[in-house]
Amino acid sequence: MAFEPKIIGFLCNWCSYTGADLAGVSRIKSAPNVRILRTMCSGRVDPAFILKAFQLGADGVIVMGCHLGDCHYQEGNYKTVRRLPFLKRLIKDFGIDPRRLRLEWVSASEGDRFAKVVNEMTEEIRQLGPLKLSVHREIQRAIAHQ
């Protein structure tokens, strides 16, 4: 069976989640690989969640928020834009390609952009192949053990 990447999408409630909703309402086709997790603000995305997602078997993580200056909470996405580059450097040391983590701005009116970003990300992860971490083997061993 061909490789289907699992991507976790952290979407902010006000812009990106609404944008994803718009994409759905407008019947814009996009890859089904992004599994959406709603947070109130992209600033709520704790770097630990992203690491946890990789640990639990996500092949990629995409964080989407409002465009800079458009944040519903005034400056939540500025916090995100400062956190994510640090995390990218960190995951590189863990053996995860930094391309597997993405930060994108999608506003509530950009349903087409949401679809575009999702398709791009899916295609990129497909090229990169599944994420293999030693921790995954351990988990699988543990499951088999049970």
Partner 1 sequence: MVTINIDGKTVEVLEDTTILKAAEQAGVWIPTMCHSEYFEPYGVCRLCSVEVVRGKRSRIVTACNYPVRGGMTVHTNSEKVKWLRKIIMELMVSRWPNVKVVKEIAERLGVEKPRFASLERDEAENACILCGMCVNMCNDVVKAGVLGFAHSGIKREVVLPFDERSDQCIVCGACAHVCPTGHIKVVFEDYRGKKPEFTLGPKTPIYVPTLQAVPRVPVIDAESCIHFKTDGCENCAKVCEPNAIDYDMKDEIVEVDVGQILIATGFDLFDASAMAQYGYGRLDNVYSSLEFESILNSTGPTGGNIVMKNGKEPRAVGIIHCIGSRDINHHAYCSRVCCMYALKFAHLVRDRTKAAIYQFYIDMRAFGKGYEEFYTRLLDEGVTMIRGKAAEIVEGAWNENGDPSLKIRCEDTLIGKFREIPVDMVVLCNAMEPRKDSDTIRRLFSISKSPDGFFLERHPKLDPTSTATDGVYIAGCSQGPKDIPDTVAQASSASARILSLISKGEVEIEPVRAMVQDEFCSGCKICNNMCPYGAIEFVEEKKISHVNEALCKGCGTCVAACPSSAMTGHGFTDEQILAELDGLLI
Least Cβ distance, residue 98 to partner 1 (angstroms): 20
CB of 145 to partner 1, least distance (A): 18
| 40 contributes a contact to partner 1 by CB under 8 A | yes
* Residues 95 to 134 in contact with partner 1, rule: CB under 8 A: 107-111
For residue 91 the two structure tokens come to 């995951």
Of the ranges 67-75, 90-98, 114-122, 124-132, which one interacts with partner 1 (CB under 8 A)? 67-75
Beta strands across the sheet bearing 34-39: 34-39, 7-12, 60-65, 101-105
Amino acid (one-letter) located at 28: I
Q: Which residue stretch of 35-43, 89-97, 115-123, 124-132 sits at the interface with partner 1 (rule: CB under 8 A)?
A: 35-43
**Contact region for partner 1 (CB under 8 A) — 50-58, 98-106, 118-126, 127-135?**
50-58
Least Å distance, CB 58 to partner 1, is 6
Is the Cβ–Cβ distance between 20 and 112 less than 8 Å? no
140 contacts partner 1 (rule: CB under 8 A): no
Q: Does 81 interact with partner 1 (rule: CB under 8 A)?
A: no
Contact at 8 Å (CB) between 100 and 131?
A: yes
Structure-token match 């996405």, residue found: 77
> What does the DSSP 8-state code read for residue 99?
G
**DSSP label at residue 67:** P
